[in-house]
Structure 1
Amino acid sequence: MSNPYLCPNCKTNRSRFNLIQQLPSSVKLDPGTGIIMEEYTDNNLEAFHLSYNGPDKKVQCASCGLIEDETTFVKFAEHNPRE
């Protein structure tokens, strides 16, 4: 994290954030019970099971609670520089 953030929702918070690391886990659930039947790695995915391709990190504004991709907070800070 080397870029300034600005919350696009409350538009005032530039300093208090929660960084959320996303660690996806690929699983197959029993449709009736929801119990995990099988866990997958990227090497053994089934034909109709796509691997996760979302962001590694999400950011939460610690003032208003908004959770978005990191780029959303960075871009909002770029378009609204501190005066």
Structure 2
Amino acid sequence: MDTPYRCPNCKTNRSRFNLIQQVPQSVKMDPHSGVIIHEYASSELEPFHLPYKGPEYKVQCAACGLIEEELTFIKFGEQPI
């Protein structure tokens, strides 16, 4: 996170961003009602329940609202203006 960002959508914002933490919650739901039947700890997942492997957080441009993975903003921030 110690690298410059730039929004690939509005192309001007280099300073105002929202960091959105992704906190996965592994659950088993009733297929008919949608009620959570069981909440799993990461160490007790069932064989057919894959653990979350997405990014720890995403970045939102506070100027235009675009939400993407951090790498998108980093790569665009590396390009000269």
TM-score range for the pair, normalised by the shorter chain length = over 0.9
Note the C-alpha offset of 1:34: 0.8
TM-score by length of 1: 0.92
Runs of 4+ residues over 6 Å off in structure 1 = none
Name the residue aligned to 1:35. Answer: 35
TM-score by length of 2: 0.94
Cα distance in 2 for residues equivalent to 1:43 and 1:5 = 35
Name the residue aligned to 2:18. Answer: 18
Name the residue aligned to 1:81. Answer: 80
Cα distance in 2 for residues equivalent to 1:81 and 1:59 = 20
Note the C-alpha offset of 1:81: 2.4
Cα distance in 2 for residues equivalent to 1:43 and 1:62 = 36
The equivalences for 1:63-82 within 5 A come to: 63-78=63-78, 80-82=79-81
Aligned residue type for 1:63: A
Residue aligned with 1:28, SS: strand
Aligned residue type for 2:47: A
Note the C-alpha offset of 1:47: 1.0
Give the percent of matched residue pairs that are identical in Structure 1 and Structure 2.
67
Cα distance in 2 for residues equivalent to 1:30 and 1:12 = 46
Name the residue aligned to 2:44. Answer: 44
Provide the aligned C-alpha RMSD in A. Answer: 0.9
